Each structure stands twice: as structure tokens, then as C-alpha cells.
Chains A and B, each alone.
Chain A
Amino acid sequence: MSNPKFERPLSPFMMYRWQYSNTLSILHRVTGCALTAGLLLFVYWLVAVASGPEAYAEAQSVFAHPLTRVLLVGFSFAFFYHLLNGIRHLVWDAGYGFEKPRARATGWLVFLGAIVLTAILWVLVATGGAA
């Protein structure tokens, strides 16, 4: 292994320069893992609803905590990004959208779309009465 003559070739991901496409791809995986963690909060909410008014009131105070709020904003961005980019992946699976300009355009659309949808959601939450 130490002999440079017999150095094995590197995988593409180890020598390619960083670019927008692999950032978006990694972000899809990261947001997917985040949403797995988010399932814990979602199920906690459902269990609280089923456990009665006291448990639900407790859950509401947990969800109203500023730290949880920050977490929820993060989860909602992860949700929208994973959803939009997931659709992008499904279109690729069907064999469309691989052309470089188009892939770049849909990448930006997905990323900015997720930010916009997250913002809309929290504006609606903020104006639609306290949680």
C-alpha cells in the first residue's frame, strides 16, 4: 500500500472538486436522516394527543419552547427540501432532467423553494394563532 507504484485508484468522490450537485445530493441524505429524528417528535405529538389533555398541554409547552421552535423550523426545512428534491430524484428515475443546465436550474429551484415554503409555513403559523 505504501508503494506509490501500486497506489489504487481513488473513488470519484475522493478527487472530484466540490460542486453544487454533490452538495444538494448530500443535503438530501442529511435532511432524510434529520426527518428520521423528526419522526420522534411527530410520534411524541400523536402519543400526547392520545394520552389526554394534561399530556397534550405538556407537549404544547415543549413545542412552544424556543429551542424546540428552532428545531421545528429546521425539521420543516428538511421536510420541504427532502420532498422537493425527492420529486427531482423521481424525475431523474424516469429518465428526465439530466442535462447540465436543467439539473442546475432544478437544483436551485428545489433549494430556494424549500426556503420559501419553510418561510410561508412559519408566517402562517405565526399569524394563524398561537400553537
Chain B
Amino acid sequence: MTDENLPNIIAVDDDFAVRMAMEFMFKKWPEYNLILAEDPNDALAKLEEREYMMMFSDINMPVMSGLDLLKIVKEKKPELPVIMLTSETDIQNSITAFRYGAMDYLLKPPTVATVRGAIDKAVEYLEEEAKKAAGGIDMDDFKDMVENFSPEKMGLTESGSKSTEFSKLVNVLQEKLIHPGKIGRIHNLFLLSKSGIVIANLSAKNVEQTDVDILGGMFTAVKDFMEDAVSASTTSSLNDIQFGNFHVKFASGAYSELAVVYTGIMNQESEDSITDTLMAFEIENSAILENWDGDLSKLEGSIKYLETLFGDIDKDKD
């Protein structure tokens, strides 16, 4: 009795002994239906009855040989993997079988190991064909490639702008393909003067409020240090400093800085939003910022820039 949901494999051999051996083998592999055919005509009739994953066929059969069967089957179902069963004296026929499109041949008597190996080979082949047909790529291989890709390892960091471009590419690939669920969770946004005064700050829900003045001074000191020590090897178009799981990304303007504390990976779109926000803030407040005396009341509405930015970056988060 066959399970209609399982892949079907047909085995054609006029020799009862081979068919019986195959039947016993397939008892070990309940994940497949084995359909037995006693001769090529029986096989052709059974091939019309249902879809098959692959076919095993003897070569030396009376009335119609396995090679003739192979030719007919390949004309009708060119994608069907066919494994020929042959004796040592049929090697020439095995070569002919390859020309007719056989995937492989097994020497008789078939064993559990050789038959299983042939099934696995057919499965692998069909999976590859399915990927090609879908125009897809092997995501595991692609993930490995992207995760292991490193501008530093490839010696691209010395070429300045090229390094930045490659880094952007890698970041985009990683954020889209490797960690799509981890994109930039924002914890805090800080708008700072060049001297480290916090003009405005915004915290995400559930983030503990800290002394923003202390943080502002710390950011400025850290950033000054990092600009000298790290900026040459940064992997971002913005300065990015990591503290454990937290990152601080800085955008620098003519009069101010925008610091974004986040976890995960910041995508390119978010980086662009950070830069755009800072530019908008400085353009709209350029008259004030040019001669700003540290009076926060003159920049009271600055929080709106951070709220907009937060919405842009974290719009899909709580």
C-alpha cells in the first residue's frame, strides 16, 4: 500500500530476485513509496499513473532493453533521474546509458548502501534543479559568504571610499538577509552641541532614564577619542562605537552631533535618516546655532526632530 503524500520511486527489473531485494531495502525507508515493474512496458504504464521522483532500471531485459526504456522515458520526462542497474559485463551499455541521460549506474547486485546513495544523489540533484528553476540561490551558502565577507580580509580598507562602499554593501546584505529581525532597535537619541551640551534627548519605552548631561559629556569625550583612533577603520559611513551589545552611532554636523544608542544592526536607510535629521535640524536652526550661547530655551522645539527620527527608524517596533 502506498502513501500518496510520499515521493514515488519506480524500480524496473525482470528478475524477481532484484525486485524482492529492492522491496526489502525500501522497508528501511518508509519515507518513499517503491513501485515495482517487471518489464519496460509495465514501467511505462506505471509511469503514466503517477508522478515519480526517480527510476531504477535494469539494462538487460527481454523484449525491450533498459536502454530503450531510458530513451523513451527521457523523451517524456527529461528531468527524471534514472539509475541503471547493470552487471560488470554491461559496462559498454552503461556508457550508452549516460549518453541517453542516465544519472548513474549501479553494479548488480544492488546493496542497501549503493541504492541509498543513488536516492540521496537524486534528491540532491532535484533540489538543485528546483533552485535553478526558481531562479533562487542557496541561502545557506549565500549567508556564509556574506557573514564571512570582510573588507579588511579582502584588503579593501586602504582604498578609502571603496572600503566604505563595500561596507555599506555588506551591511545592507546582512541586514536584509542575515539578521532581518534585528535591525536597529533604538534605545536613546541625543542631540548634542559640539561642546557636549544635550540639546534634546529621547528614550525608547522601557529604557531607563539616565543623567543626560553626564551622558552628553561622555559622548563628546568618547567621540573625540574615537575620531582620532577608530574612524579610519570604521565599517560605517557614520562613526560607530560599540559597548558590549550597545552601539552608539554619531552623525556630525557643523554645529551639533546626533548620537543614536541602539542594539542589533542599523540599516542603511536608518543611517540616512540620522544624517537627514541632523541636516534638517541645523538648516532650520542655523541662525540660532551660529551664535548659540548655550541657552536651551532657544532650541525648545528640537525634540520634534528626534521624535520624527525615532518614528522613521523604529516604526516597526514597540
Do they bind each other?
no
Identify the B interface with A (CB < 8 A): none
Identify the A interface with B (CB < 8 A): none
